[in-house]
Amino acid sequence: MNKSVIFDIDGTLLYARGSGRQAFGTAFRAAYGVEYCNVDKICFVGATDSNVVRNMAIESGITNTPALEEHFFMVLARELDRALATQKPLVYAGVPEFLAALTQCSLALGIITGNIRSTAWSKLRHGGIDRFFCFGAYGDDHHERSEIARRAIRRAPSAAPVAVMIGDTPLDIQAAKTHNLIAVAVATGWVSAADLAEAGADLVLDDFSDTARCVAGVMNLLR
| Site residues for Mg ion per CB under 5 A | 8, 10-11, 168
Measured CA to CA, the distance from residue 134 to residue 172 in angstroms comes to 20
Nearer to Mg ion (CB atom), residue 160 or residue 175: 175
Measured CA to CA, the distance from residue 194 to residue 179 in angstroms comes to 23
CB 153 → Mg ion: shortest distance, Å? 18
CB 168 → Mg ion: shortest distance, Å? 4
User: What pairs with residue 10 in β-bridges?
Assistant: 14
Phi first, then psi: give them for residue 106, nearest 5 degrees.
65, 30
Nearer to Mg ion (CB atom), residue 10 or residue 141: 10
Nearer to Mg ion (CB atom), residue 20 or residue 31: 20
Nearer to Mg ion (CB atom), residue 9 or residue 83: 9
Name the residue whose CB lies closest to Mg ion: 11
Nearer to Mg ion (CB atom), residue 60 or residue 174: 174
59 φ/ψ sector (left φ>0, alpha ψ -120 to 50, else beta):
alpha
Contact yes or no for 176/182 (Cβ under 8 A): yes
What's the per-residue H, E or C state across 76-120? HHHHHHHHHHHCCCEECCCHHHHHHHHHHCCEEEEEECCCCHHHH
CB 122 → Mg ion: shortest distance, Å? 16
Measured CA to CA, the distance from residue 156 to residue 21 in angstroms comes to 30
SS3 category, 170: helix
CB 159 → Mg ion: shortest distance, Å? 28
